[in-house]
Amino acid sequence: MATEPKAAAENVKIDLLEDDDEFEINEGMFDDQDLGFFANFLGIFIFVLVIAYHYVMADPKYEGN
């Protein structure tokens, strides 16, 4: 009656992302073109804010108060 020795740790593969749908690429994500547009828009908006700030702060009407 020889018994086969069992391995102490079996090689079991577990899929950790089996039921997790948040990592799948879907149509709702931003692609490269959308991200580029958003980055350009944000840069232009900040640039306009800086120009507006300097325009308001350098206005000579308010310098003598």
Query: Rounded distance, CA 53 to CA 48, Å?
Result: 9
pLDDT of residue 35: 95
Residue 60: predicted pLDDT: 75
In this prediction, residue 41 carries a pLDDT of 98
Q: What pLDDT digit, counting tens, does each position of 10-51 carry?
A: 676 666 666 665 656 556 788 999 999 999 999 999 999 999
Burial 8-41 (b: 16+ CB within 10 A, else e): eeeeeeeeeeeeeeeeeeeeeeeeeeeeeeeeee
pLDDT at 51: 96
Q: What is the C-alpha separation between 31 and 39, in angstroms, rounded?
A: 12
Whole-number pLDDT of residue 17: 60
1 pLDDT exceeds 60?
Answer: no
